[in-house]
Amino acid sequence: MKRQLSYLKAVVICHGKSEKQIAEFIKSKLRLRIDIDSKNNGKNSIQITSLMRFLNSRKYKSEKDFLNFYRNDLDKLNDDFKIFTIMDTDDCTEKQKKEYLNKVMFKNHPLEKYIVPIANSPELESVLVQAGIKFSKKGDKRKGEYISIFPTDPKYQKSDIIQLEEFLENLKKCPSTNMNEFIEFCLNL
């Protein structure tokens, strides 16, 4: 049996702490070779309106800079590689949201063909409620619950994969997000 090399499959750029916690949960439970990036470890948020500034600095500025940064994990970029950007849309105009989702805002960026925009409208919290995630707290206090409830519920004794598949099916029914694309990608790795 030939041993297959393990290499980085995706990078996930997260809007804030909640999105980062969810991405880290999925990475950990599915044991994926993905990198999760955020501003100040999720303490500060990346808005759709400032995403290009984030992508035009540091390691994302060019394909060469990107490959140099990930030189221990990635030799080259291929069509299977993805850069997911998981953003809320409550901080931008409808025009900016549309340009984000149809990738017009990424036009001429060196990594454009790898970028997969994921949007939660208006924000992640409302999407999770629509997807059947139960919260015991209200408002901003909900954010502290993600680490303990996403996407598992202590009442269930199912495997992490089954729980993620059920969460995926709930997201597919949710018209205010396309986060199911990210979950599906991860489950198919």
What CA–CA distance (Å, rounded) separates 70 from 132?
37
Nearby residues of 71 by Cβ (< 8 Å), 6 or more positions away = none
Q: What's the pLDDT at 68?
A: 95
Residue 157: what pLDDT?
A: 43
Going by pLDDT thresholds of 50, 70 and 90, the confidence category of residue 93 is: very high
State how far the Cα of 146 lies from the Cα of 150, in Å rounded to an integer. Answer: 5
Q: Each residue of 124-183: pLDDT tens digit?
A: 989 998 988 877 767 666 565 554 555 444 444 457 788 889 889 999 999 999 999 999
SS3 157: coil
Q: Where exactly are the structural domains of the chain? A: 10-187
pLDDT at position 133? 80
User: What pLDDT was estimated at residue 148?
Assistant: 54
Strands 10-14 and 115-120: unpaired
Q: What angle do CA 151, 152, 158 make, to 5 degrees?
A: 125
Q: What is the pLDDT of residue 134?
A: 73
- pLDDT confidence band for 46 (50 / 70 / 90): very high
Interacting residues of 158 by C-beta distance below 8 A, sequence separation 6+: 166
Buried b / exposed e over 5-26, threshold 16 CB at 10 Å, is: eeebbbbbbbbbbbbbbbbbbb
Report how far residue 101's alpha carbon sits from residue 76's, in angstroms, rounded to the nearest whole number: 26
Residue of 14, 12, 13, 4 lying closest to 185 (CA atoms): 12
The pLDDT score that the predictor gives to residue 152 is 41
- For every residue of 65-113, DSSP letters joined together read HHHHHTTTT-S---TT-EEEEEEESTTS-HHHHHHHHTTGGGTT-TTGG
DSSP 44: B
Q: Which one has a higher pLDDT value, 133 or 92?
A: 92
Taking the C-alpha atoms of residue 144 and residue 126, their distance in angstroms, rounded to an integer, is: 15
Q: Please name the residue ranges forming H helices in the chain.
A: 17-30, 51-55, 63-69, 94-101, 124-130, 146-149, 160-172, 180-187
Predicted pLDDT at 161: 84
